[in-house]
Amino acid sequence: ANSAAAESGKPGGLPQGSEPVKLDPADFSTNIDNPYWPMSPGSKWVYRETDTKGTNLKVVVEVTNETKMIANGIEARVVRDTATENGQLVEQTDDWYAQDKAGNIWYLGEATAEYKNGKVATRAGSFEAGVDGAQPGIAMPGDPEPGLSYRQEYYKGEAEDRAAVITTGQEQVQVPFGYFRKDVLMTRDLVPTEPKVQELKFYAPNVGPVLSVHTDGDGGRAELVSYSRAG
């Protein structure tokens, strides 16, 4: 794949593996309105997550009014994820996203911190596109067709997640927030650094991610409990 295709958002031009891409900041916006993951500032998703150890977490995802200038020159929207266990902070992450003219949502990095007893235990997994060889990836394609594959992030040895669109409009999903049966999008996420880890994710139009399920038998699952859309 060549980076020119990635720049122009042509079909098949989504980034793969570790390949570098050259992105023009003028092609990007912090107004993210891709129907499969609309990120209006003030929007909030609450998930009930069972991690691979059977721990139950509450995960709150909020689109902030903040933006961050990424090292590669693109201004990104800051989306804050806060995970708690019985009210105690476990992890907090700022994810950085921007949307290109073709409607692709790009993932430009994250600042993450895991907490133990109220103190930061590790910031492993943090990366920023354009720093130390890290490359941006795709969080949601503008035109998600079955068979389309792309990398979500690339920071060698730390963050190398990939994904592919599996089906559109074939799945039905029941979560605490509601029942979704129309135009549900299903993707499969792979983590090359952890070959056994596979995750199916389900997205509902005009809502975003509603369910994720680990398929490797370890029981990891996150389901949408509530969603409030700003504006």
Closest to 100 in 3D by CA, of 28, 152, 168: 28
> Using 50, 70 and 90 to split pLDDT, how confident is the model at 108?
very high
The predicted pLDDT at position 230 comes to 84
Rounded Cα gap, residues 231 and 215, in angstroms = 36
Residue 149 is part of a domain; what is its CATH number? 2.40.360
CA atoms within 13 A on the CB side of 158: 19
Which residue carries 């039905």 as its tokens?
A: 172
**Cα→Cα distances 59→22, 36, 62, 74, 135, Å:** 33, 19, 10, 27, 26
Percentage of the chain surpassing pLDDT 90? 81
Rounded Cα gap, residues 231 and 185, in angstroms = 24
pLDDT value at 3 more than 70: no
The pTM (predicted TM-score) of the whole model is 0.92
Q: Name, in order, each residue with C-beta under 8 angstroms of 219's C-beta and a sequence gap of 6 or more.
A: 50, 52, 54
Give the DSSP H or E segment for 189. strand 185-190
Amino acid (1-letter code) at residue 126: S
Question: CA 158: distance to chain centroid?
Answer: 16
The predicted pLDDT at position 10 comes to 42
Note down the domain range covering 12: 3-228
Left (φ > 0), alpha (ψ -120 to 50) or beta: where does 165 sit? beta
Q: Per-residue pLDDT averaged across 148-167, rounded? A: 93
The predicted pLDDT at position 158 comes to 83
Give the DSSP H or E segment for 202. strand 198-204
Rounded to the nearest 10 degrees, how much is the dihedral formed by the CA atoms of 129, 131, 59, 98?
Answer: -30
pLDDT value at 231 more than 80: no
pLDDT value at 228 more than 80: yes
Note the pLDDT tens digit of each residue in 21-79: 999 999 999 999 999 999 999 999 999 999 878 889 999 999 999 999 999 999 999 99
pLDDT averaged over every residue in the chain: 92
Instruction: Check residues 8 and 63 and name the one with the higher pLDDT.
Output: 63
Question: CA 48: distance to chain centroid?
Answer: 17
Note the pLDDT tens digit of each residue in 130-140: 999 999 999 99
Q: Mean pLDDT lowest for which of 3-12, 32-41, 87-96, 99-108? A: 3-12
The predicted pLDDT at position 115 comes to 97
The predicted pLDDT at position 197 comes to 81
> How many domains is the chain built from?
1
Instruction: Check residues 69 and 3 and name the one with the higher pLDDT.
Output: 69
Q: Is the dihedral of CA 29, 35, 37, 41 positive or negative?
A: positive
Note the pLDDT tens digit of each residue in 179-222: 999 999 999 999 887 878 889 999 999 999 999 999 877 778 99
Strand partners, 63: 79
The predicted pLDDT at position 9 comes to 40
The predicted pLDDT at position 138 comes to 98
Which residue carries 């295709």 as its tokens?
A: 5
Q: Per-residue pLDDT averaged across 146-169, rounded? A: 93
